[in-house]
Structure 1
Amino acid sequence: MKNHLFISAGLLWSLFSMSVHAAGSRGDLLRLGSPDKNIEVCVEEDGGWLLYSVKRGKVDVLQKSPLGITVDGNDLGKGASLVAEPEIEKIQEKYPIFGNHAEASGRGVEAVLPMQASGVRFGLVVRVYNDGVAIRYILPEGAKHIGNERTAWALPQRVKKVAWAEYEPGYEGYVHVTALEAMPDKGYVGGPLTVDLGNCYVTLTEADCESFPDMAFTRSGNTFQAGFPASEKGWDIRRLPDESEKILAGRYKGKDVSPWRCVIIAGDLTALVNSDMLTNLCPSPEEGRDFSWVQPGRCLWQWWSVGAPRYEEQKEWFDAAAKLTWEYYLIDDGWRNWRKDGKDQWELLEEVIAYGRSVGVKSIVWVNSNEMRTAGPRRAYLEKIKAVGASGIKIDFIPAATAEIMQWYMGAMQDCAELGLLLNFHGSVKPTGLSRTYPNDVTREAVRGNEWHILRYGRVLPQSHYVALPFTRLMAGAADVTPVTLNPREIETGGYTWTHEFAQSIVFLSPITHFSDHYSYYLESPFLDLLKAVPTVWDETRVLSCTEMGEVVAYARRKGNDWWVGVMNGDKEREIEIPLDFLKKSMDAVLLHDDDKILASVAREDRKVSKKETLKVHLRAGGGFVGWFH
């Protein structure tokens, strides 16, 4: 439940270590501390420019960094001043999520600063949580055009390494963990970025992007600046005329606003991965709307392993999903070409969906976004998908994320929420926390996942890629990486083991997880019992101490009373230790180790383990480990 409390600036000094200088004064305009008094943000005017900085304890997280946005030709970061006392709001909330844990929570404080620059009134909204800082702009009344944004993140000199992505509009670029100096200093890099500062970790990204273009970064030395590759020359502020008034369109407290510019701050990787900051910054669901029909689960699909789904084979795939006890089957690209016995593709689609229901498996259906690029055709198409009995839609090949296309995303989310359809965007832009508002936006691609690593196209992903993904794209939200390839020929190209592949389904969060391979490999595998049992959402997540960004990733996740451990190794053979102190008692365990000689094999142990035990695990390059404790 969300609890808002307005407090005077004087009282807030004692509660949140906050100070506000009088309107028109120079220097600090705002100092705002987190409820736990561990994080502080300072907004100031220096040399005629609006700046902010962030500390964790007494240590700089961000040095003085530019603020500002150009609206209708006016740079609102230049010559800005306060015109009234800030409005202060305490934030304390909890709500259910499908994610790294079952309930999100946020404790923070917000200050809304009434500002002016060059005679133009605008606002600056600053939030400080116990796990970070976010800032957004309230646009001037009647604003018509955004020219640029100056918001930047100036890192201190002690950067150890950065997890980052090569920029690609659909977020299918390679990801890396490198020294800061090894990053490109020209052109864009994709976010989120995660920075190891030695004494803490910092993730830079955005939240609640409803009507601005998608944000990327440019780098100059230690400073990253917001950039908009899809709209480099700026964009008009306008509501698409054919969209419903119900869609989110970039408004906050009745005003047009920018998305939140965020810095998530954590003392360790467990706290970083468990941050709820992005969803905390997004609106609650529409009042009265019931999302209890949104159910996570495992999903089988045909395209990756054999190409376009064949009508004649659909019963076999539904039957296989039922044998695996998986909840969903995806009817991917190719069903549009089905014709048989005088029936068109829609009649045949309805038939196979009905068969799936008869064996207890729900259906998700693929569509190319070019069949629904505007509000009217989109709604009509989605109504047709619902009418044939589908539970969800996978929308692919979405254009670059301009301001107009971001509003289209909002419209698709709203339509699917109203129709009771699960939503999986592919060929898409990263999420920004809006799965809180629309829990039916259950997963999306925006990642170079296993659809890229595929033999028939001659594409291979490097081993270092997978162990950087948790700290880049996955920091934005659920990612449809389509994990767990078991075909020996496919994994051989990259040198991956079966344990590495299965660990992907544990490490990579996707409330509906689409398993990539042909069902025969799963039904015949020596860990079929684990494939039948593995969850897709979690009650608790811990990042184990052996984890090192870009080298090896080890997660322990709990669902109910069961614990699952997934370890993915990078490109160097290594030994790791896994203390089992997260267990509350001795438990039965299934332990899957790399086979020393064969990639497409596992060394399986079934035995009792103690919470006092430490597992010693040898990992091949491209290898992994899976543990199920039950």
Structure 2
Amino acid sequence: MNIKSLLYVLLCGLLFTTPVIAADIATVLSPDGQISFRLFVENHQLYCHASFRNQPVLDNTPVVVSLDGKTLTRDITTGSIKTYTINERYPWLGVHATAVNHCNGVTIPVQHAVAAYTIEVRVFNNGVAFRTIIPGKPEQHRVPDEATVFAIPAGSTLWYHDMEIHYESVHAKKDIAQVQAGEWAAPPATFKLPWGGYASITEADLRNYAGMSLQADGKNGLMIRLPQHQPTSYPYRLRYSAEDTARLKQPAAVTGTITTPWRVVMMGADLGAMVNNDMVHNLCPPPDAALFPQGFKTSWVKPGRAVWKYLDGGGDGTPEVMKKFTDGAAALGFEHNILEGFWSRWSDADIRDLVNYSRQKGVGIWFWKHSKSLRDPKARDSFFRRCHDLGVAGAKIDFFDHEAKEVIDLYQAILKEAAQYKILLDFHGANKPTGQLRTWPNELTLESVKGMESSRLLDRATHETTIPFTRLLAGPAEYTVLHFGERRKNTTWAHQIASAAIVSSPLLTYAAHPENILANPAVEIIKSIPSVWDETIVLPGSAIGELAAFARRKGNTWFVAVMNGVSERSLKISLSFLGKGNYKALVALDDPGNPAAVIMQQEMYKQGDAIILPLQSGGGYIMKLEQ
């Protein structure tokens, strides 16, 4: 059907297209009717527009997709639109125990002189997503590119960081009009709209394609940029050859059918809606039942807490020292012990001895490995086979630092082969998550954040109150939480303890030496903080870069965790989320006279009680509530 024809689509009263102007293609509504996504043509160019509660979230946004240098999203005609609805729930490892996948979708056939293709759109109650599918024969090798410019409404505030350190930089906060042309923004790029709502731009289900970054156009827009247009990060330049850098700067060809990742705009009226957004993983396929017969409940998929000998002393990397770290993990009730590369100097007998010793204490052993050594399929198979045969639980794979398709393909190969050998994964020096945890439940976490390893980060208070609402919206981050020493910079002990309950991950690695955790007055609270949650509530008063206050539930136990930024403030916390009856509370709060100390209290609370909490600069608070 020609795009100048009027098209009506009806989805059981939920999804419909209205003929606003002759050039409209489709308007797709969310199941609750509050979000609208419109596709239309203007001056021969394809555009989209998104609104939430009748307020713009994306102004008119040119959708630009090209193939072998020829633009596919100009001078198009469209065919008969097909509609569908998804309404499902599935188990999840993260901010809540059950993910909700409810959306209205359309597939739109598009005809262009160069190629016929399909645009697919899904609109959820908390955002919109779209992708392009270009059919191809198995022997075809074609180069896709994109230059869609997400048009952010004037008056919005953007939190973003550049790509120089890849995903390990510090966010800036600017009015969108102040973001200069050419500046880079690593997804997810979170912005607050003039009317008070929030949105964040990222991508989902990145496979067989290059990863995107965003570049400002100086006109309130953020443009999709694939790796051939991106600057090569400093970590990649540092660790790889000039030949590697030059090769990955070349546009990548895709064989056969080209399916772009989903272009995702999460939306929410408040920060709680953003933190609880399931869109990124909803857009990925479920796991292969042959590899994960019970999904996340598959016996060898074991989320949990980890000790790590790297940032807080602990002696040489010997088997005997690592047995002491296993002892510390067991005393804390932690499930994992992550070893850096020193393990490679040990004999198989030493490794087996440590693995067996740790297994008896309920602790799994993880090995660090450089990703470059896994590029060769034989070497990759040899490594994972050896881990399996030695009884190693997981692998920490490091130094990816690039969005090139070659690197994305390596991720997928590692995920698949690790799953075949029942090995869990922690990706470091990594790209942003794109929801692959749903497809590959062994991908417990990715770093892709400036974490506790960064000793030069002076303002950790602002950083740690920013990332829960920016980077973590894409998926879990391996921040390596909680340090009682100098690395905590301008934060208090209570702030650091609270970080373990806020900057959470299915693999929650602690930076502090286990002996220092065990000696801390708050050890009983720390030992009880889980790595995954049944429910998460972002408390009123939370603000990006200023305050992160969460109430989180695991089973019948609630935690209230607060991290403050640099400004002193008073916070009122309502306990209205509690169930009926009285709750015993164990509290860790700041010592006003000593940031390297914590005061422990025991209290009794009930539903409807309120706490008035004074917070010092960089301060914190954590409370465990149980009946």
Is the structural similarity TM-score above 0.5?
A: yes
Taking the TM superposition and a 5 Å limit, the aligned residue runs for 1:340-379 are: 344=347, 346-379=348-381
Q: 1:566 aligns with which of 554, 561, 566?
A: 561
Q: 1:235 aligns with which of 233, 251, 258?
A: 251
State the match for 2:466 in structure 1.
Answer: 468
Indicate whether 1:172 and 2:168 are aligned: yes
State the match for 1:328 in structure 2.
Answer: 336
Q: Structure 2 CA distance, aligned partners of 1:169 and 1:225?
A: 20
- Scaled by the length of structure 1, the TM-score of the pair is 0.90
Shift of 1:312: 3.0
Q: Structure 2 CA distance, aligned partners of 1:373 and 1:230?
A: 21
Q: Secondary structure at the match of 1:235?
A: coil
State the match for 2:128 in structure 1.
Answer: 133
State the match for 1:557 in structure 2.
Answer: 552
State the match for 1:451 in structure 2.
Answer: 453
Q: Flag as ranges the 4+ runs of structure 1 deviating above 6 A.
A: none
Whether the 8 Å contact between 2:88 and 2:100 is mirrored in structure 1 is yes
State the match for 1:51 in structure 2.
Answer: 47
State the match for 1:274 in structure 2.
Answer: 276
Q: Which sits farther off after the overlay, 277-286 or 186-195? A: 186-195
1:299 maps to amino acid: A
1:302 maps to amino acid: K
Q: 1:183 aligns with which of 179, 182, 192?
A: 179
Indicate whether 1:145 and 2:142 are aligned: yes
Whether the 8 Å contact between 1:322 and 1:360 is mirrored in structure 2 is yes
Q: Deviations over 1:332-354 (max 9, x none)?
A: 2222234xxxxx3x332222111
1:335 maps to amino acid: W
Q: Deviations over 1:6-63 (max 9, x none)?
A: xxx96725522412779xx951011111111111111011001000001113221111
Q: Structure 1 CA distance, aligned partners of 2:124 and 2:47?
A: 19
Q: Secondary structure at the match of 2:10?
A: helix
2:454 maps to amino acid: W
Whether the 8 Å contact between 2:8 and 2:19 is mirrored in structure 1 is no
Q: 1:19 aligns with which of 17, 20, 28?
A: 17
Q: 1:480 aligns with which of 478, 481, 487?
A: 478
State the match for 2:410 in structure 1.
Answer: 408
State the match for 2:434 in structure 1.
Answer: 432
Whether the 8 Å contact between 2:72 and 2:114 is mirrored in structure 1 is no
Whether the 8 Å contact between 1:69 and 1:146 is mirrored in structure 2 is no
State the match for 1:3 in structure 2.
Answer: none
Q: 1:65 aligns with which of 41, 61, 66?
A: 61
Indicate whether 1:86 and 2:81 are aligned: yes
Q: Structure 1 CA distance, aligned partners of 2:250 and 2:283?
A: 25
Whether the 8 Å contact between 1:367 and 1:394 is mirrored in structure 2 is yes
Q: Structure 2 CA distance, aligned partners of 1:390 and 1:20?
A: 57
Q: Deviations over 1:261-295 (max 9, x none)?
A: 01111111111111111111001111343242212
Whether the 8 Å contact between 2:493 and 2:596 is mirrored in structure 1 is yes
Whether the 8 Å contact between 1:134 and 1:260 is mirrored in structure 2 is yes
Q: Secondary structure at the match of 2:482?
A: coil
Q: Which sits farther off after the overlay, 346-355 or 551-560? A: 346-355
Shift of 1:141: 2.5
Q: Structure 2 CA distance, aligned partners of 1:317 and 1:124?
A: 52
Shift of 1:203: 1.0
Whether the 8 Å contact between 1:567 and 1:624 is mirrored in structure 2 is yes
2:536 maps to amino acid: T
1:123 maps to amino acid: T
Q: Structure 2 CA distance, aligned partners of 1:93 and 1:17?
A: 17
Call closer, same or farther: CA 1:149–1:238 in 2, change over 3 Å.
closer
Whether the 8 Å contact between 1:452 and 1:461 is mirrored in structure 2 is no
Shift of 1:325: 1.2
Shift of 1:165: 2.1
Whether the 8 Å contact between 1:177 and 1:468 is mirrored in structure 2 is no
State the match for 2:513 in structure 1.
Answer: 518
Whether the 8 Å contact between 1:546 and 1:552 is mirrored in structure 2 is yes
State the match for 2:304 in structure 1.
Answer: 297
Shift of 1:199: 3.4
* Alignment coverage as a number of residue pairs: 591
Q: Structure 1 CA distance, aligned partners of 2:473 and 2:316?
A: 32
Q: 2:540 aligns with which of 528, 541, 545?
A: 545
Q: Deviations over 1:299-355 (max 9, x none)?
A: 1111122276233312211111111111111112222234xxxxx3x3322221111
Q: Deviations over 1:61-103 (max 9, x none)?
A: 1111011211022201211221x20121111111111011001
Whether the 8 Å contact between 2:203 and 2:262 is mirrored in structure 1 is yes
Q: Deviations over 1:545-590 (max 9, x none)?
A: 0101111111110000111111111111111111111111320001
Whether the 8 Å contact between 2:38 and 2:50 is mirrored in structure 1 is yes
Taking the TM superposition and a 5 Å limit, the aligned residue runs for 1:204-243 are: 204-220=201-217, 221-229=219-227, 232=230, 235-238=251-254
Indicate whether 1:34 and 2:34 are aligned: no
Shift of 1:447: 0.7
Q: Structure 2 CA distance, aligned partners of 1:572 and 1:211?
A: 45
Q: Structure 1 CA distance, aligned partners of 2:69 and 2:176?
A: 34
Q: Structure 2 CA distance, aligned partners of 1:485 and 1:399?
A: 26
State the match for 1:317 in structure 2.
Answer: 325
2:143 maps to amino acid: I
Whether the 8 Å contact between 2:228 and 2:250 is mirrored in structure 1 is no
Q: Which sits farther off after the overlay, 401-410 or 223-232? A: 223-232
Q: Secondary structure at the match of 2:396?
A: strand
- Scaled by the length of structure 2, the TM-score of the pair is 0.90
Call closer, same or farther: CA 1:184–1:310 in 2, change over 3 Å.
farther
State the match for 1:155 in structure 2.
Answer: 152
Whether the 8 Å contact between 1:562 and 1:629 is mirrored in structure 2 is yes
What stretches of structure 2 of length at least 5 have no aligned partner? 1-6, 231-248
Identical residues among aligned pairs (%): 30
Whether the 8 Å contact between 2:148 and 2:223 is mirrored in structure 1 is yes
State the match for 2:242 in structure 1.
Answer: none
Q: Deviations over 1:478-515 (max 9, x none)?
A: 0010001013x433xx1211111011111112111110
Taking the TM superposition and a 5 Å limit, the aligned residue runs for 1:579-590 are: 579-585=574-580, 586-590=582-586
Q: Structure 2 CA distance, aligned partners of 1:374 and 1:435?
A: 24
Call closer, same or farther: CA 1:113–1:523 in 2, change over 3 Å.
same
Q: Secondary structure at the match of 1:166?
A: coil
Shift of 1:169: 5.6
What stretches of structure 1 of length at least 5 have no aligned partner? 1-8, 240-250, 339-343
Q: Structure 2 CA distance, aligned partners of 1:373 and 1:465?
A: 34
Q: Structure 2 CA distance, aligned partners of 1:13 and 1:515?
A: 49
Q: Deviations over 1:144-188 (max 9, x none)?
A: 3335312221112231x2222232464111123333244343232
Q: Structure 2 CA distance, aligned partners of 1:156 and 1:238?
A: 34
